[in-house]
Structure formats: structure tokens, C-alpha cells
């Protein structure tokens, strides 16, 4: 299947700093990528839809100034958690849809576990 790579897999940062997470589609072009957040033992909550070359669409309740999303190319989307606080600690996972076909299957990255001290 298609490969999506996410980096870093784990990051620990101090409160007030910013953290960037990268999501790459390695063997296909992804016009649309999705960023999810998952709290322990809970489901995936969609944060935003990232579209190549345009602004991301954020879900209700997600602060766009806090979670900056950039989708500059067909293979790369980035999520930057700005001025991170302990409550931002979570598992962040990106996914991409293949450009062709219409099943809409999502291919997921490995996830990034953020811990804010």
C-alpha cells in the first residue's frame, strides 16, 4: 500500500516552545492530507484538512493560530504546534488520500507523540 512517513515519532519540548511535525507521502501525490489528534485510549479527532497550495480547513474548536498547517507541496504537509503547553501533549497523526481512485482510503503516518513539560 501507499506509504506515509511522519517525523518525529516522539518529541519532548519545554512549555512555550514551538514544535514542527512533518508528514510526507513517499510514493504518491497527496492533494489532501488530514491531521488527527488522539488522546490516550480515545478515538482520533480530526483537527484540520490540509490542501496543497491553499489554506487548511480547521474543525470547530481547533485554534488555527496554535496549530499551524502548511501544505506546500503534493508530498509534504507540516503541523506546527506554537507556544506549546502541557495540555497540548498528545498523539498527533497525519493521513493522506491518494489522488486517483474514489474509495477515499486514508494512509496514515506512524504518528508523533508530543510531550510538553
Q: Applying CB under 8 A, which residues contact other proteins?
A: 1, 31-32, 34, 42-44, 46, 49, 91, 93, 95, 97, 102-108, 110-111, 113
> 40 or 86: whose CB is closer to other proteins?
40
DSSP-assigned states of every residue in 1-41: ---EEEE-SEEEE-TT--EEEEEEESSS--SEEEEEEE-TT
Shortest Cβ 85–other proteins spacing (Å): 22
> 77 or 95: whose CB is closer to other proteins?
95
- What is the C-alpha to C-alpha distance for residues 65 and 107, in angstroms, rounded to an integer? 26
* CB-count exposure of residue 101 (10 Å: 0-12, 13-18, 19+): exposed
Shortest Cβ 55–other proteins spacing (Å): 16
Residue indicated by cell numbers 490540509: 50
Phi and psi at 31, nearest 5°, equal: -70, -25
Shortest Cβ 16–other proteins spacing (Å): 26
Shortest Cβ 104–other proteins spacing (Å): 4
> 11 or 46: whose CB is closer to other proteins?
46
> 34 or 116: whose CB is closer to other proteins?
34
Amino acid at each position: 500500500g501507499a506509504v506515509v512517513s511522519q517525523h518525529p515519532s516522539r518529541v519532548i519540548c519545554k512549555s512555550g516552545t514551538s514544535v514542527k511535525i512533518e508528514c510526507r507521502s513517499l510514493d504518491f501525490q497527496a492533494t489532501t492530507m488530514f491531521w488527527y489528534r488522539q488522546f490516550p485510549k480515545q478515538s482520533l479527532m480530526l483537527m484540520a484538512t490540509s490542501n496543497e497550495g491553499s489554506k487548511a480547513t480547521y474543525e470547530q474548536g481547533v485554534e488555527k493560530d496554535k496549530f499551524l498547517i502548511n501544505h506546500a507541496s503534493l508530498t509534504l504537509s507540516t503541523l506546527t504546534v506554537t507556544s506549546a503547553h502541557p495540555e497540548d501533549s498528545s498523539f498527533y497523526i497525519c493521513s493522506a488520500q491518494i489522488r486517483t481512485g474514489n474509495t477515499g482510503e486514508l494512509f496514515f503516518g506512524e504518528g508523533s507523540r508530543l510531550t510538553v513539560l
